[in-house]
A and B are shown apart, each in its own frame.
Chain A
Amino acid sequence: MELFFNLLITGLVVGSIYALLALGFTLIYKSTGVVNFAQGELLLIGAYICLHLTVSYRVPFIPSFILTFIFMFLFGFIIERIFLRKMIGEPIISIIMLTIGLSSLLKSVVQIFWGTDTRVFPKVFPSEPVNLFGIKVSQVYIYSVISVAISLVIFSVFFKKSKAGVAMRAVASDQQAALSMGIEIKKVFALAWAIAAVVSAVGGVFVGNINGVNTNLSQFGLKVFPAVILGGLDSISGAIIGGVIIGILENLVGGYVDPLIGGGAKEVFPFIFMIIVLMIKPYGLFGTEEVEKV
């Protein structure tokens, strides 16, 4: 039973980071119609920026976390401006390939700057584990779940209440109507990329604190697909729930099936699960079904 709870908690931590990435992905997809295959690289860059600030410039963790936010916000803006703005109205394969190209470009830039070795954050969170329902949980896990939850709440409130959030939802539901109501779609597109970059960076900083930082972290970007497909591509709450479910299932499969077949099940299971979801419920749990018109 202890194994089960341990797996559950690790799954929750990983799942909440998937949820953040899925949130960023959904945000971009919903408001701009762009599928972002470079989501994992945004996480990677966020993690490295924060690490660089704390290690090389000895900035304390909290300020460097905030600086990372600001940097990633601008970075998202710039990416949208340089690469995506020109692609508005292009066919889906071009946009998919553009973000794939972007992902290898960003990964290469990261490798040129920081190399390929794993780097670790200086100790930020206290290392003694906390006793939670009789199970020892390290503190960084708890902090990461809490801050992920906080950021998810902040973004939900942002979408519901703030003017920019309402504008984003308007663009998401009907671009034409939003445009005629005087919403500047281009600004909304840029904002979507900026926010997606920021949420990915939050995920990156926490994964970095748990596992150390190397270029393999960008693989999180591919793991986000099962999460968003399960939740529904254009549903923000779906992205969060899908992320958590995939994270937990993946770890349970890893814990129970991997020893039987000798490893690897954890990596491939989300994708098998995703194909099943696609066959049964292609629009996921909360996604809106597209109606085809000729």
Chain B
Amino acid sequence: MNYVNCGNFKTSYEKDFALYQTTFSKVVLIIFLVLLFLFPFVATDYLLYIFNLIFVSVIGAVGLNILTGATGLISLGHGAFIGVGAYAAGYFYNTLHVNFIVAILFGGLAAAFIGSIFGIPSLRLKGLYLSIATLAAQFILEFLFVRMEGITGGVTGLSVDYAKIFGIEIDDDFKFYYLGLIFCILMTIFAVNIMRTRIGRAFLSIRDNYIAAEVMGVNIFQYKILSFAISSFYAGVAGGLWTFYTTIITPEHFTIGVSIQYLSMIIIGGLGKVLGSIFGAVFMTVLPEALKLISDFLSQYYQDITQLFASIREGVFGLVIILFLMFEPEGLYRRWKLIKAYWKLWPFSY
């Protein structure tokens, strides 16, 4: 599937392992990033709000894709791990008065710790059994979010001050955009690179055939826990960012529904692919907003539609997952590859 331009010979292993196969793709990426950095100057607040949601989702989805897509361990508890990160970041920020970046990292570490604990059953459990164990993690953590009022503030939630950096308060969508974007880029680069190392390959080998992997000398238990830890670290960072974006966190944001939403992101985007997680996160964040626009438009003609909106949104959400699984099981990533191949090969498509 990876079509390489004519005349692009690889003469060393370094070239084969390189992140960017051609200078062209590097240039395209840099242009794309520059555009992303300039975007807020032309965008409306609403667009910035959607982008900020996307940044948080991308980090969470990339993390889940390392666990589920690359290592093959299904997790139905990702939403709760995001919650652990969010609460931990908020709590550290409020009690220790550390810099907010330190607080977010603390949140990530706390989530990684909790995630590894709930990853321990993965030693004995696989597939369906593991997904049910993580479902239990989701409910237990949700329960703790409500009950541990000393830390989480219970149902009323935990509030933090706006994040501050170099004396600038990050208190609107415009400023948060840069924070989210930088975090998002760093975390994505980290994920892309982790998949190129020994660790990433160990993950893939566990997914493809864990018995063979063990025979080859991969310490299954260690790598499974590591996968849980890395994935939950991502979840925690996403949660920490969410804390400083909304400045008030309540248990409602970390329900089973959120876990399912992240799972659907990586399935719709493409399992095991970092780029796929980004596609999926964008798609699943934009979808409800697009539905909202459509329903606002239709409400001129049908009054009832706004009342039914929540139900319709859930139904469309389910339908989209089903349709993708039935007709495009490899997700948007595959479509992207096909489009790229089309442009490279045109007009000789075979």
Binding site for B on A (CB under 8 A): 35, 83, 86-87, 90, 92-94, 96-98, 100-109, 111-112, 116, 222, 225-226, 229, 233, 261-262, 264, 267-268, 271-272, 274-275, 278-279, 282, 292, 294
Interface string of B54-71 (1 = CB under 8 A from A): 000000000000001000
Q: A94 to B68, Cβ gap below 8 A?
A: no
The answer to the question of B282 belonging to the interface, with a C-beta cut-off of 8 Å to chain A, is no
Interface pair A101/B322, CB less than 8 Å apart: yes
Which of B103-111, B140-148, B191-199, B218-226 lies on the face that meets chain A? B140-148
Residue pair B322, A98 in contact (C-beta under 8 Å): yes
* Contact pick for B311, options A96, A101, A112, A279, CB 8 Å: A112
Kindly state the separation between the CA atoms of A279 and B271 in the bound complex, as whole angstroms.
Answer: 28
Using A101-B319, A271-B140 as known contacts, say yes or no to A94 and B325 having CB atoms under 8 A apart: yes
In the complex where A90-B329, A108-B315 touch, is A264 in contact with B135 (Cβ < 8 A)? no
Question: Would you list 26 pairs from A and B whose C-beta atoms are within 8 A, ordered by A residue?
Answer: A86-B326, A92-B127, A93-B74, A94-B267, A97-B263, A101-B317, A101-B318, A103-B318, A105-B314, A105-B318, A107-B311, A108-B311, A111-B308, A112-B308, A112-B311, A112-B315, A222-B135, A229-B132, A264-B146, A268-B140, A271-B139, A275-B140, A278-B124, A282-B125, A292-B211, A294-B212
Q: Are A101 and B264 in contact (CB under 8 A)?
A: yes
**CB of B312 closer than 8 Å to a CB of A:** yes
| Contact present for B135 and A225 (CB under 8 Å) | yes
CA distance A272 to B267 in the complex (A): 28
Given contacts A93-B271, A225-B135, A278-B121, contact A83 B322 (CB under 8 A): yes
B258 within 8 A of A: no
Given the complex, which residues of A lie within 8 Å of B267, measured CB to CB? 93-94, 97
Distance of A264 Cα from B325 Cα, bound (Å): 35
Per DSSP, chain B at the interface is helix
What is the CA–CA distance of A96 and B212 in the complex, to the nearest angstrom? 25
Q: In the assembled complex, how far is the CB of residue B325 from the closest CB belonging to chain A, in whole angstroms?
A: 5
Q: Are A268 and B326 in contact (CB under 8 A)?
A: no
5 tightest A-B CB contacts, nearest first: A108-B315, A101-B321, A105-B318, A104-B318, A111-B311
Q: A271 near B311 (CB under 8 angstroms)?
A: no
